[in-house]
Amino acid sequence: MAMNLVKLPTGNPNLLMRVSKGHYATSHSHINYYIDVTLSKFRLSEARAVAAELVSEYKSTTIIDTILCLDGTEVIGACMASELTKDGFTNMNAHQTIYVVTPEHTTGSQLLFRENTAPMIKGKHVLVLAASVTTGYTVQGAVEAIRYYGGEPAGIAAIFATETECAGYPVRSIFDPNDLPDYRSYDAHNCPWCKEGKKIDALVNSFGYSSI
């Protein structure tokens, strides 16, 4: 069943927030808004707009050697790397290049880097890029993995975030609860909508949604 998405425009035609209100379940919580970032991740014009907005927080201020892409944000990560290494911009990275890496996940949801990709983390300043940061569990795991493999977290960036800090690092996002003042998130065991008997509309994650 198709979900009814509402577009919340910004001043940039390629920077849109698409949302649907309802009762949705993620792997960690129940939420009342599904935020669809599919086109922001996979349409080049929108990925470029997201990247340009996010890199403004890091240009000339933060050393970034590697961008660790979570939630299928590789296109945005590549666009951010391109922006950060453009001619005419001060790049604090001494090598004037940036790795764009996607982690492998174990069956226990831990992040894994093989021998060929681990050197892109070890000794590097690593920016974590996520589609969203709400509960913070996924990003927390990414920060721990970076440290385990000998890297130094350089920050956290996301399209949408309800948190301004995670794992001791500031979270920079384009959209936040100020754009959705009635956004709510609850632990599955304390969900008021479940207690009211309201059925779940869909299961949602970084890949999309599955209606129930």
Does 186 fall in a domain?
no
* Tally of domains in the chain: 1
CA atoms of 165 and 121, how far apart (whole Å): 22
Q: What is the reported pTM?
A: 0.89
DSSP 96: S
Does 70 fall in a domain?
yes
Q: Residue 2's pLDDT is what?
A: 59
Does 190 fall in a domain?
no
Does 176 fall in a domain?
yes
Residue 165 identity = E
**What does the pLDDT look like over 140-153, one tens digit per residue?**
999 999 999 999 99
Strands 185-186, 30-36: pairing is: antiparallel
Q: Residue 62's pLDDT is what?
A: 86
Does 187 fall in a domain?
no
Torsion of CA 110, 116, 117, 122, to 10 degrees: 100
Between CA 3 and CA 76, with CA 44 as vertex, the angle to 5 degrees is 90
Whether residue 85 contacts residue 53, with contact meaning beta carbons closer than 8 Å, is answered with: no
> Which residues of the chain carry a pLDDT beneath 50?
89-90
b vs e for 16-44, b when ≥16 Cβ sit within 10 Å of the residue's Cβ?
A: bbbbbebbbbbeebbbbbbbbbbebbeee
Does 155 fall in a domain?
yes
**Residue 58: closest CA among 36, 35, 80:** 80
Which residues form the domain of 168? 44-181
**Residue 126: closest CA among 110, 113, 109:** 113
Does 132 fall in a domain?
yes
Q: Looking at residue 140, which CATH number applies to its domain?
A: 3.40.50.2020
**What does the pLDDT look like over 152-187, one tens digit per residue?**
999 999 999 988 999 999 999 999 988 989 999 999
Does 200 fall in a domain?
no
**Residue 68: closest CA among 55, 59, 78:** 78
